[in-house]
Structure 1
Amino acid sequence: MAIWQWGLLLLAGVWALQALGVWLQMQHYSGVFKGITEKYSDGFVGAGNYRGRFKRGTIALVVVTPDLIVRRLLLMSGRTVFTKFKRHEEFEGMTLDRLRSDPAILGEEHPGVTEAVTRAIEQIDRARAEPRRQPGLSGISAAGA
């Protein structure tokens, strides 16, 4: 085989490893998110992200009670697909308004975390503003009607 064919083969192998890593990370994210939504069926969950081009990327999950008390704050921050969520217990019991007023509460040296938490809080605010849908067939229109 010529050297360029080996190069293409190596490139395909690296691409396949990257695809596998991304799939594993998405499985981890989906599992954590599903676990949170099953455990806390009342209240609200917000997910925010920060994409760092050359910095660390961050995903924040904020879970609040119906009266807007933080139940969980989970952060996944890193450069690789091997990064996992870390629970920050020091924020549990804090009001959402306090977290909203100071999203850089984790420190100014982590601007990606601040941005991700801010986006998660915005998502919670949007979810609270939407009217709750009633279960059933109310959203389905009859054929020919």
Structure 2
Amino acid sequence: MEYVHWGLGALALLWGLQCVGSVYQIRKYRRALAATMNAWQRGYLGVGCQRGVVSQGALVILVLTEDHEVATFQAMTGRTIFSRFKTYPQLCGYDKTDLLTALSSLPAAGKGLHQATVMAFDQACDAHPRKLEKAPRKPSADTGQAMQDQPLSLAGTAQAST
């Protein structure tokens, strides 16, 4: 019976260490993401992850320019909480196909890093149309000069349409 108590105590200790390690890794991720967002005021941010049960997991943060070229590329790969983000300046300036080709030549590149990169690139590309859709639209030419002189507000549009 004493072995059961020791076994449960050891499991509780390992579970507690796992929780502390998870919090530590989440803080590293948030710091890297905040630093990337502060460093790049323009562009499209993409984040991709691939969990590995037995193999290495991967987490990728990248920023794309307006032309869908990589402006910055950071990746964290590994099996433990001690993994850190590493910046790869040699991958900047590539489009998707060139990036995946260049990525395969890296020593740390595995299947997980490849999948996380594809996910991050697709997410950043999907952000591009959404940003353009949310941009304010200019008044059309048929609304006349009176509409252009008024401040842009809901009340101004309602008065101009009546």
- Which TM class, normalised by the smaller chain length? 0.7 to 0.9
What TM-score comes out, normalization by structure 1 length? 0.82
For this pair of structures, how many residues does the alignment match?
132
Aligned equivalents of 1:104, 1:54: Cα separation in 2: 25
Which of the two has greater helix per residue? 2
Taking only aligned residues, the RMSD between alpha carbons, in angstroms, comes to 2.1
2:100 aligns with: 103
- List, as ranges, runs of 4+ consecutive aligned residues in structure 1 with deviation greater than 4 Å: none
Are positions 1:127 and 2:127 aligned together? yes
Cα 1:115/1:27, change in 2 over 3 Å = same
Kindly indicate whether the alpha-carbon contact (under 8 Å) linking 2:44 and 2:125 is maintained by their aligned counterparts in 1.
Answer: no
Equivalent runs, 1:5-44 vs 2, <5 Å: 5-44=5-44
Q: Give the CA deviation at 1:102.
A: 5.3
Q: Give the CA deviation at 1:8.
A: 0.8
The answer to which of 105-114 and 2-11 deviates more is 105-114
Cα 1:30/1:16, change in 2 over 3 Å = same
Are positions 1:55 and 2:52 aligned together? no
Indicate the SS of the match to 1:19: helix
Deviations 1:80-135 (A, max 9, x none): 011001111101223x3xx345524322761111111100111011111212366x
Indicate the SS of the match to 2:47: strand
Deviations 1:45-101 (A, max 9, x none): 10111111210000111112233332211010000011001111101223x3xx345
Structure 1: runs of 5 or more not aligned: 139-145
Kindly indicate whether the alpha-carbon contact (under 8 Å) linking 2:52 and 2:112 is maintained by their aligned counterparts in 1.
Answer: yes
Structure having the higher Rg: 2
The sequence identity of aligned pairs, in percent, is: 27
Structure 2: runs of 5 or more not aligned: 137-153, 155-162
The answer to which of 17-26 and 99-108 deviates more is 99-108
Q: Give the CA deviation at 1:23.
A: 0.6
What TM-score comes out, normalization by structure 2 length? 0.74
Kindly indicate whether the alpha-carbon contact (under 8 Å) linking 2:91 and 2:102 is maintained by their aligned counterparts in 1.
Answer: no
